[in-house]
């Protein structure tokens, strides 16, 4: 597993592929070896075709490669990692590329416009989480052992749990029943997400520790989905992990949806926080509610 990051605020479509090209170059994997390409962002070009097709075209992906989008709120990239890893384990492909690109500019501008027109405290309460959105892009390259680079990181396993009864706590995007009028739903029950997300995270962590069978002192480090200080504090306290084991980027990047966790891992690696051999937890949570935790040997 190799991760690379970038920014979507670039001049051309080809420049938007910087993370993908960085990931391929860092692992020295030829584009011809990519057997699966998944685009996993909340943001996408159109509902149809898959945004992955645009990425594949610009990269020059071969005609035999599986190309499709994955949609699961902020968990998209982690879902892409699991689907790609499963295909590699089954011997269907040798390598796969998981990509995502998010921008909050449009939704933040719409939110501000609505707040200025309707200065209502209830609207503000349900909109404030929208204003923490950020922008960024990532690419994660997964390979089999034959193609693995000496700097690659090993996916060891993971678990996933859901609390779908809370699927209405966070809503964003066009109303599918009236998408032609361009009306966007933007509503987040921040307190409900925090309370129920922490409970789901705690249950998932218990299953994760049992599944990974790591010693009591592990994981060495963790990388979480980035929301804010209150969420970080609540989650860490609920699972009993000291703050020193966690690396954060929300202070300067905000919440970048599917990009948040992998871009935080890439930055943590660049800054020396993640060291070779660290048993690391990737802790993701997304609207729905869904929670996935992966174990990675760095």
The pLDDT tens digits of the residues spanning 224-236 come to 999 999 999 999 9
Extents of the domains making up the chain: 2-101+136-143, 154-297
How do residues 48-65 score in pLDDT, each as one tens digit? Answer: 999 999 999 999 999 999
Angle subtended at Cα 167 by Cα 165 and Cα 169, rounded to the nearest 5 degrees: 110
How do residues 256-282 score in pLDDT, each as one tens digit? Answer: 999 999 999 999 999 999 999 999 999
Which pLDDT does position 51 carry in this prediction?
96
286 or 180: whose pLDDT is higher? 286
Q: What are phi and psi of 178, to 5 degrees?
A: -145, 40
Q: Which CATH class is domain 2-101+136-143?
A: alpha beta
Instruction: Place 10 in a pLDDT band, splitting at 50, 70 and 90.
Output: very low
Half-sphere exposure of 195 (CA within 13 A, CB side): 7
Catalytic residue among 74, 101, 170, 224: 74
170 is catalytic: no
CATH number of 154-297: 3.40.47.10
Collapsing DSSP states into helix, strand and coil, what is residue 273?
coil
Q: Is the pTM of this model over 0.95?
A: no
Q: Are strands 170-174 and 2-6 parallel, antiparallel or unpaired?
A: unpaired
**Bridge partner residues of 284 (DSSP):** 292
On the question of pLDDT at 237 being above 90, the answer is: yes
Average pLDDT of the chain is 90
Question: Across residues 240-266, what is the average pLDDT?
Answer: 97
Select from 37, 35, 139, 141 the least CA-distant residue to 91. 35
74 is catalytic: yes
Instruction: Place 73 in a pLDDT band, splitting at 50, 70 and 90.
Output: very high
Least confident of 99-103, 131-135, 211-215: 131-135
Instruction: Place 111 in a pLDDT band, splitting at 50, 70 and 90.
Output: confident
How do residues 132-191 score in pLDDT, each as one tens digit? Answer: 899 999 999 999 999 998 889 999 999 999 999 999 998 887 766 555 555 667 788 888
Report yes or no: 158 and 86 within 8 Å, Cβ to Cβ: no
Render the burial of 217-254: b for 16+ CB within 10 Å, e for the rest.
Answer: ebbbbbbbbbbbeebbebbbebbebeeebbbbbbeebb
């Amino acid at each position: 597993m190799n991760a690379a990051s970038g920014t979507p605020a670039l001049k051309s479509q080809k420049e938007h592929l910087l993370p993908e090209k960085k990931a391929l170059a860092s692992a020295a994997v030829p584009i011809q070896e990519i057997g699966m390409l998944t685009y996993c962002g909340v943001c996408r070009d159109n509902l149809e075709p898959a945004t992955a097709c645009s990425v594949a075209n610009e990269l020059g992906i071969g005609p035999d490669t599986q190309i499709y989008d994955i949609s699961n709120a902020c968990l998209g990239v982690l879902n892409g990692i699991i689907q790609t890893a499963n295909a590699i384990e089954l011997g269907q492909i040798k390598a796969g590329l998981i990509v995502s690109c998010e921008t909050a500019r449009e939704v933040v501008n719409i939110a501000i416009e609505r707040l200025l027109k309707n200065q209502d405290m209830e609207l503000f309460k349900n909109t404030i989480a929208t204003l923490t959105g950020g922008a960024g892009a990532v690419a994660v390259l997964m390979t089999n052992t034959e193609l693995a680079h000496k700097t690659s990181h090993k996916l060891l396993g993971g678990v996933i749990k859901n609390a779908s009864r809370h699927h209405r706590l966070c809503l964003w995007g066009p109303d599918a029943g009236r998408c032609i009028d361009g009306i966007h739903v933007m509503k987040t029950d921040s307190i409900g997400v925090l309370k129920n997300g922490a409970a789901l995270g705690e249950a998932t962590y218990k299953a994760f520790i049992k599944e990974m069978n790591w010693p009591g002192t592990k994981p060495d480090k963790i990388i979480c989905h980035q929301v804010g200080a209150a969420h970080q504090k609540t989650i860490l306290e609920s699972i009993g992990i000291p703050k020193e084991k966690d690396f954060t980027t929300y202070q300067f990047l905000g919440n970048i949806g599917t990009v948040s966790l992998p871009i935080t891992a890439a930055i943590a690696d660049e800054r020396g926080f993640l060291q070779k051999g660290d048993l690391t937890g990737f802790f993701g949570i997304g609207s729905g509610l869904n929670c996935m935790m992966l174990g990675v040997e760095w």
